Structure 1
Amino acid sequence: MPKVTQQHMDARRKQILTAARRCFLRDGFHSTSMQDLFAEARLSAGAVYRHFTSKDEVILAIAEENMRDVLDITLAVATNRPGRSLGAVVAELLNVIRAKSVEEDLAGLAVLVWGEAMRNRSLAGKLDQLMGRIHANLVILVRDHQETGGLPTNVTAEAIASTMLAVLPGYILQVALLDPAAVAEMPYAVRALWPGPAGER
C-alpha cells in the first residue's frame, strides 16, 4: 500500500471542512448528519472518520479556523509592535473578518458556533481559550501604548483590551445579518475612536 503523504492528509482535511461549512450554513448544525457530510465531501465514512471522530470535532475545527486569522493578527501586532494605533489594529481585524466572510462566510459560521456553544461545553471551552489568547495579545498592545503615553493609565490594560474585543462580535453579527454597506465604514470609525499619537498609522 502506498504511503499517504502529509500533503494528501491536509488536502483531505480541507476538503472535509469545506464540505462541512456548506452543510452547516445551508442546514444548521443539528439538521446536518455525518452522512450528509460524507455525501457533501464525496468521501466514504472511513475517509472522514480518519480525520474527525464526530460532528462535534468538525464544529470545533471550524471554530478554531474561523478565529485563527484574528488570533494571528493580534499576536503579530502585539509581539512585533510596529508602532500602530489601537484603531489601526482593530480596523485590520475588521477587514480580515470581512474578507474571510466573503471567501467562506466566517461571520455566518461564527454566529452558528456561538449558538452551539450555549449547549456544547467543549465548544464553549475552546472559544473561551481562543478569546482569552486574543485578549492577552491585546493587553500587551494596550500596555505598550500606556507606557508610551498613548493611553491613560487610570484604566487597566485588561479593561481596555476587553472593550476593544467587544467590538468584534458586534461587527461579526452585523456582517452576518446586514447589508455589507451597513458596516462598510466601521474600520474607519474605529481608527477615529482610537487614534494614536501623531505619526502613528
Structure 2
Amino acid sequence: MQDVIKEAGLSVGAFYRYFSSKAELIRAIAEEKVGTIVGTLEQLLEQEPPPAMPVVMAELLAQVDRNLGEDGPVRIAVQVWGEAAYDPAFADLVGAIYGRIRDKAAVLAAKVDPAADPAALAAVMVGLVQGYIIQRVLAGRVDREVYLKGLGALMSRYGAEGAHEAR
C-alpha cells in the first residue's frame, strides 16, 4: 500500500480519506475495468445480426491485450485472483465481478446461439478468457491469433459430438 500511496503522490491520510482499505481500492479499480469488459459485451450485443462466436472471442481477447500493459488492469486481476484464494473479502469481490461478466456473457450467448445453454456457454467463454489472461501474464508466450486458431481447431475437431462422448 505504501508504494501505491507514494505513486499516487498522496499522504497516507489523504489516501485513506478516499479508500478505507486495500480491498476498497481494488474494488474501485475492478469496477472501472469490469465496465470495460461489460461494455465490450454490450457492443457485441448491439450488432445485428449477432456476431459469430469466433468474432466474440476475438474481440474479448483483443480487449485483454489492450489492457495488458506493465501495470495494466489485466495484471491487477491476476493479483486479485491470488488474494481471493486466501481473503474472503477478495473472494466476494471476484465472485461479484465475474458474476456480472458471466451474466452479460450469457445474454450475448443466447443471442449468438439460441439453441445453446447460455449459462454453460458463458461459463466457458469466461474461462477461456481467464485462461488466456493467465497464459499472457504468467507465461507471456501465447499469441492471440495462435490461441484463437487453437480454439477454432478444438471446436471443429471436438465440437458438440465430442462433448457428448466425454459424459
**TM-score normalised over the length of structure 2:** 0.77
The answer (yes or no) to whether the contact 1:88–1:191 under 8 Å persists in 2 is no
**What amino acid does structure 1 have at the position aligned with 2:92?**
G
CA drift at 1:62? 2.6
Q: Which residue of 1 aligns with 2:7?
A: 40
The equivalences for 1:51-70 within 5 A come to: 51-70=18-37
CA distance in 1, matches of 2:72, 2:24: 19
The answer (yes or no) to whether the contact 2:61–2:144 under 8 Å persists in 1 is no
CA distance in 1, matches of 2:12, 2:140: 38
CA distance in 1, matches of 2:76, 2:137: 9
Q: Which residue of 1 aligns with 2:98?
A: 131
CA distance in 2, matches of 1:104, 1:192: 33
Equivalent of 1:119 in 66, 74, 86: 86
The answer (yes or no) to whether the contact 1:87–1:193 under 8 Å persists in 2 is no
The answer (yes or no) to whether the contact 1:91–1:190 under 8 Å persists in 2 is no
CA drift at 1:188? 4.8
Cα distance change of structure 1 residues 37 and 193 upon mapping to structure 2, 3 Å threshold: same
Q: Which residue of 1 aligns with 2:138?
A: 177
The answer (yes or no) to whether the contact 1:90–1:164 under 8 Å persists in 2 is yes
Q: Aligned with 1:50: secondary structure?
A: helix
CA distance in 2, matches of 1:188, 1:69: 25
**Is 1:93 matched with 2:64?**
no
Q: CA RMSD for the aligned pairs?
A: 2.4
CA distance in 1, matches of 2:128, 2:113: 20
Cα distance change of structure 1 residues 190 and 88 upon mapping to structure 2, 3 Å threshold: farther
CA drift at 1:126? 2.1
Instruction: Extract unaligned runs of 5+ from structure 2.
Output: 157-167
Cα distance change of structure 1 residues 126 and 184 upon mapping to structure 2, 3 Å threshold: same
CA distance in 1, matches of 2:29, 2:99: 18
CA distance in 2, matches of 1:55, 1:72: 26
Higher helix proportion (structure 1 or 2): 2
Q: Aligned with 2:19: secondary structure?
A: coil
The answer (yes or no) to whether the contact 1:107–1:172 under 8 Å persists in 2 is yes
CA drift at 1:66? 3.6
Q: Aligned with 2:26: secondary structure?
A: helix
For these two proteins, the number of residue pairs brought into alignment is 154
Q: Which residue of 2 aligns with 1:161?
A: 122
CA drift at 1:175? 0.8
Aligned-pair identity (%): 32
